[in-house]
């Protein structure tokens, strides 16, 4: 899961940079995925250290959950018929973040079963 966390963080950084340049560098808010991707990637690196795996995973899951909450407006915008690049990106980020958190929860549950 640590490697997946690093890949997820890198993908968020890439998404943020692409969104920033695709929108003509008009707003720094297009970089928000990158602002989440860097600490998530760092959390993935922390998770690679022996004995620190759960801490890195918990931190990454918390950040991904915050990202999902912050991008909910994109889902509501699309459902309301407001189609825009920002809403499409926010909706995609919401789905990917929720999937990442779900995978993290499954990993934690799998790990806790082995320690009982």
When the pLDDT of each residue in the chain is averaged and rounded to a whole number, the result is 90
Segment 67-72 shows an average pLDDT of 94
Burial label, 39 (beta-carbon count in 10 A; 0-12, 13-18, 19+): middle
The mean pLDDT of 96-107, rounded to a whole number, is 95
What is the model's pLDDT at position 111?
Answer: 79
Residue 114 has pLDDT above 70, yes or no: no
**Looking at residue 98, what is its pLDDT?**
97
Q: How far apart are CA 17 and CA 40, in angstroms?
A: 16
Would the pLDDT of 116 be above 50? no
Q: pLDDT value at position 31? A: 92
The model's pLDDT over 43-61, given as tens digits with 9 standing for 90+, comes to 999 999 998 888 999 999 9
- What is the mean predicted confidence (pLDDT) over 15-34? 89
| Residue 64: per-residue pLDDT | 97
Q: Is the pTM of this model over 0.85?
A: yes
Per-residue 3-state assignment (H helix, E strand, C coil) for the chain: CHHHHHHHHHHHHHHHHHHHHHCCCCCHHHHHHHHHHHHHHHHHHHHHCCCCHHHHHHHHHHHHHHHHHHCHHHHHHHHCCCCCHHHHHHHHHHHHHHHHHHHHHHHHHHHHHHCC
């Amino acid at each position: 899961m640590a490697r997946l966390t690093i890949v997820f963080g890198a993908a968020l950084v890439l998404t943020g940079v692409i969104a920033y340049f695709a929108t003509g560098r008009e707003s720094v808010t297009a970089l928000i995925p990158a602002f989440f991707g860097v600490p998530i990637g760092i959390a993935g690196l922390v998770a690679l250290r022996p004995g620190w795996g759960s801490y890195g995973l918990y931190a990454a899951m918390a950040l991904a959950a915050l990202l999902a909450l912050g991008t909910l407006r994109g889902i509501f915008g699309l459902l309301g018929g407001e189609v825009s690049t920002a809403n499409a990106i926010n909706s995609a980020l919401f789905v990917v973040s929720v999937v990442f958190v779900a995978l993290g929860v499954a990993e934690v549950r799998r790990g806790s079963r082995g320690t009982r």
